Amino acid sequence: MSYSLIIAETRKGEFQEGNFDPLYLSDIVGLPSYILLPEGEYGILRGSCDKVIVAPLKEGEFLNPLNIIRLLERTFQAFGEPSAILLPHCSFGIDVAPYVAGRLGWPIITDISGFCRGEEGEIFIKTLYSEKINGHFRLKEGMRFVGTVRKGVFPKVAEVVKETLFEEAPSIEKDPRRDFIEYIEEEIEDVDITKADLLVSVGRGVKEKGNIPLFEELAALLGGVLSCSRPVADRAWLPKARQVGTSGKTVRPKVYFALGISGAFQHIAGMKDSDVIIAVNKDPSAPIFQYAHYGVVEDMHRLAQKMIENLRDQK
């Protein structure tokens, strides 16, 4: 019987939570699951998958598409060819999955956030157009593909308890054409947005740098801290340390007050555990309204002006 091969991410030796979504998707599809990992101890996986295959590679050598493809060739020889190669949709998954697909000549679907089975066969769901649309994708030539899976979308299939075998992957000669050198941490920051009770957070809707002071004033009058989405930090309108999201900070304030942010999952992942989320957007179909507790359909500049006036009056 065929199986799905999950290529898992570790960072600094830590098994990443995002690996569970490809594992659960594999259970939902109904394939035995083998997990391929770099050197390390993975007792926590006992019972959750059919095989744990540990590669004789250090993390820095393993998290490298050029070495992974060599490892896959040897793994296929040892364990047979899988029908799905699944990875978490993260910095590792998007580095490795497309390269592997190109080398193997297999189709690729990234950022899978849903699966269903019906008359039309097996359907994988992926968001399109900044999460405003769900695309239903079908593999033309049946189940043989490379996929990356969005974090936190697939539930554990409760009844699955497996007898996990631990195996070692065959050794490979490393590809000399790409080398990991070192990890680098982000430099020192200005304010620590993870400590604030109230974050006033602006997105691309702020439109230009000249509008930042208005929202700075609003945050100050409310006694909160100003944070932002990625495009605002990319343009250096606010320091990178203020960016909320997967590639920025994960925050959990009492109130997250988002203005002009559309609600991409990379942003949502960084703020979804806030006690209360209030979103202001001029577009009533903005995906952020799906995640917010309170929504206001309004021009953020007009609203901020008015709030500032009211707050000044009260002082």
Ligand X SMILES: Cc1cc2nc3c(=O)[nH]c(=O)nc-3n(C[C@H](O)[C@H](O)[C@H](O)COP(=O)(O)OP(=O)(O)OC[C@H]3O[C@@H](n4cnc5c(N)ncnc54)[C@H](O)[C@@H]3O)c2cc1C
Give residues in contact with ligand X (CB under 6 A). Answer: 130, 203-205, 229-231, 243-248, 260-262, 264, 266-267, 270, 280-283, 286, 299-301
- Shortest spacing between CB 288 and other proteins, in angstroms: 8
Binding at 267: pick from ligand X, other proteins, none (beta carbon under 5-8 Å per type): ligand X
Q: Tell me, by CB under 8 A, how many residues bind other proteins.
A: 103
Contact with other proteins (CB under 8 A) among 31, 38, 224, 267: 224
In 250-299, which ranges are continuous DSSP H helix? 265-268, 288-291
Give 309-313's long-range contacts (Cβ < 8 A, gap of 24+): 311/218, 311/221, 311/222, 312/221
- Give which of 132, 136, 91, 95 is closest to 112, Cα–Cα: 136
Binding at 97: pick from other proteins, ligand X, none (beta carbon under 5-8 Å per type): other proteins
- Shortest spacing between CB 282 and other proteins, in angstroms: 7
Q: What angle do CA 240, 242, 248 make, to 5 degrees?
A: 65
Q: Lay out the site mask for other proteins across 175-204 (x = CB under 8 A, - = otherwise).
A: xxxxxxxxxxxx----------xx-----x
Binding at 147: pick from other proteins, ligand X, none (beta carbon under 5-8 Å per type): none
Q: Which helix (H) or strand (E) holds 72?
A: helix 65-79
| Residue 129 vs residues 173, 228, 264: alpha-carbon distances, Å | 41, 21, 10
280 contacts 260 by C-beta, under 8 angstroms: yes
Binding at 229: pick from other proteins, ligand X, none (beta carbon under 5-8 Å per type): ligand X
- Residue 239 engages other proteins in binding (rule: CB under 8 A): no
Amino acid at position 205, single letter: G
For ligand X, the closer of residues 103 and 282 by Cβ is 282
Binding at 163: pick from ligand X, other proteins, none (beta carbon under 5-8 Å per type): none
Amino acid at position 76, single letter: F
Per CB under 8 A, which of residues 99..138 are in contact with other proteins?
99-104, 106-111, 120, 123, 126-138
Binding at 310: pick from ligand X, other proteins, none (beta carbon under 5-8 Å per type): other proteins
For ligand X, the closer of residues 32 and 231 by Cβ is 231
Contact with other proteins (CB under 8 A) among 40, 65, 152, 170: 65
DSSP-derived secondary structure letter, 57: S
For ligand X, the closer of residues 70 and 150 by Cβ is 150
Binding at 296: pick from other proteins, ligand X, none (beta carbon under 5-8 Å per type): other proteins
The span from the CA of 161 to the CA of 310, in Å, is 58
- The gap between the terminal CA atoms of the chain, to the nearest Å, is 72
Binding at 220: pick from other proteins, ligand X, none (beta carbon under 5-8 Å per type): none
For other proteins, the closer of residues 160 and 278 by Cβ is 278
For other proteins, the closer of residues 79 and 99 by Cβ is 99
Q: How far is C-alpha 192 from the chain's CA centre?
A: 22
- Residue 257 engages other proteins in binding (rule: CB under 8 A): yes
165 contacts 52 by C-beta, under 8 angstroms: yes
**Chain length of the chain:** 315
Tell me the two tokens of residue 310. Answer: 């009211």
- Give which of 119, 107, 111 is closest to 90, Cα–Cα: 111
- Residue 141 engages other proteins in binding (rule: CB under 8 A): yes
Q: Which helix (H) or strand (E) holds 75?
A: helix 65-79
